[in-house]
Amino acid sequence: MNNLSNKHYRLRNEAVLACKIIVDQKLDSGPFGNVSVRIPHTNEFWVNPQGITFDQLTPDDMLRVDTSGKILEGRHTMHPGEFIHREIYRLRDDVNAIVHTHSENTSAHSLLGCEIEPYTQLGASIYGDQGLYLGFTGPVRTSSEGTAIAEALGKKSIVIAKNHGLFAAAPTIQAALWDMIVADWASKIHITALQLGLKQADKLSPEFMQKSRVEVRDKQHQFMWQSYLKKIKAADVKEFEFS
């Protein structure tokens, strides 16, 4: 029996809800992808296991693990993506949630090995807040590879892993999920711009970049979380709290 509070189990439920939203938005990638939330003031976090797709995931399937890789609660096998999550949590005390899925747009953009350009306010909202990891070796299976991706993230909110996909790291699951969705939209716009023959976006001033960040990300992530919850609740997802 553990001594976690109901609040900490609510965080677990929110991580699963994020997975359901990802499915609803058609951004999931079958057996691949990871979502996690840190248990506040600990070295522990909830993360989805291996072998269960986001659409089938329930709160009881989630694993509670620590940053050494030990499973503290849960009956399933650890997902290899946990290597990356644990190293990000180790290096970033301010990060409490991580969202990673191989969506079509972010995966395609990752092939370019560059930051998502500020072609619109979506790209402008994340421009300058993206790290790049160029050391692709296939699926991550060691802590050292996880550390390399975490170091590429640095103090930023997003890291683009070339030939792989995108990780969004934030203080809350709501913010991390919204960053992932915004980045997916901005990736599609970037790819379309290249197809149109545009090589680079016109750069905005730091002031206007910050304006985009505040208006698109800071002011919208909680609102959009509630909007997405209403939609999946209407689809008869019954096993969660929607508070």
In a domain, 127, yes or no: yes
The per-residue pLDDT for 242 is 44
Residue-level pLDDT at 160: 96
pTM: 0.92
Please indicate, yes or no, if residue 241 is contained in any of the structural domains: no
**Do β-strands 158-161 and 71-73 pair in parallel, antiparallel, or remain unpaired?**
unpaired
214 band by pLDDT with thresholds 50, 70 and 90: very high
Does a structural domain hold residue 204?
yes
Per-residue pLDDT band for 199 (boundaries 50, 70, 90) equals confident
Has residue 6 got a pLDDT over 90? no
Contact 132, 113 (CB under 8 A): yes
| Domain ranges, residue 68 | 6-229
Beta strand pairing call for 158-161 and 34-38: unpaired
CATH of the domain at 125: 3.40.225.10
Q: Which of 111-115, 145-149, 195-199, 228-232 has the lowest mean pLDDT?
A: 145-149
Q: Cβ distance 12 to 59 under 8 Å?
A: yes
Q: What are the tens digits of pLDDT across the range 124-165? A: 999 999 999 998 776 667 678 889 999 999 999 999 999 999
Domain-located, residue 77: yes
Residue with token string 């070796």: 137
**Averaged pLDDT for residues 223-242:** 76
Q: Is the pLDDT of residue 202 over 70?
A: yes
Total domains in the chain come to 1
Alpha helices in 51-203 (DSSP H): 82-91, 104-110, 121-126, 143-153, 173-195
Instruction: Decide which of 107 and 1 is more confident.
Output: 107
Q: How does pLDDT run across 62-120, given as a tens digit for each residue?
A: 999 999 999 999 999 988 888 899 999 999 999 999 999 999 999 999 999 999 999 99
pLDDT of residue 243: 42
CB 86 within 8 Å of CB 69: yes
Given this model, what pLDDT does residue 203 score?
A: 83
Question: What does the pLDDT look like over 32-65, one tens digit per residue?
Answer: 899 999 999 999 999 999 999 999 999 999 999 9
Check residue 56 and give its pLDDT: 95
**Residue 119 within a domain:** yes
Instruction: Please indicate, yes or no, if residue 243 is contained in any of the structural domains.
Output: no
DSSP state of 60: G
Q: Which of the 8 DSSP states describes residue 214? A: I
- Whether residue 40 lies inside any domain: the answer is yes
Pairing outcome for strands 63-66 and 71-73 = antiparallel
Looking at the domain assignment, is residue 234 inside a domain?
A: no
